[in-house]
Amino acid sequence: MRNLIVAACMLAFVASSQQASARLQYLKEFKAAYASKLSGQKLTCAVCHPTKSKKDRNNYGAALGKHVGMKNQKDVAKIKAALEKGGKEKSATDGKTFIDLINDGKMPGTKDVVK
């Protein structure tokens, strides 16, 4: 019985760590593409998720989500394509796309959750 409990705990740990690394892939590719343009900015999951819940997204996170395809996308090429396509969408700033804001050294998303 003890071995069964230990095995179940190990399985739960492994499964949860795979999900976390998949989410970090988005941030990794965002940093690779835009860290030099956003120097001095804190680049965390909050770029897309304004709250502690990773289910909540801001306007930039929602724009990327439309282009990523499947949940927990691991294909780097598809993530890069989603960053490019999402960056071309209109931001909350009049006359600016998300990539315009990034090129100006500003964070692309708002602090508000998109419903």
Convert the pLDDT of each residue in 36-83 to its tens digit. Answer: 999 999 999 999 999 999 899 999 999 999 999 888 899 999 999 999
pLDDT at 10: 66
Coil/strand/helix, residue 16: helix
Show the tokens assigned to 65: 């989500």
CA 58 to chain centre: 10
Convert the pLDDT of each residue in 10-29 to its tens digit. Answer: 666 655 544 444 479 999 99
CA–CA gap between residue 101 and residue 19 (Å, rounded):
30
Q: Please name the residue that has the structure tokens 């956003």.
A: 38
Show the tokens assigned to 92: 């909350």
State residue 60 phi and psi, 5-degree precision.
Answer: -70, -45
pLDDT at 13: 60
Q: CB under 8 Å to 52, separation ≥6 — which residues?
A: none
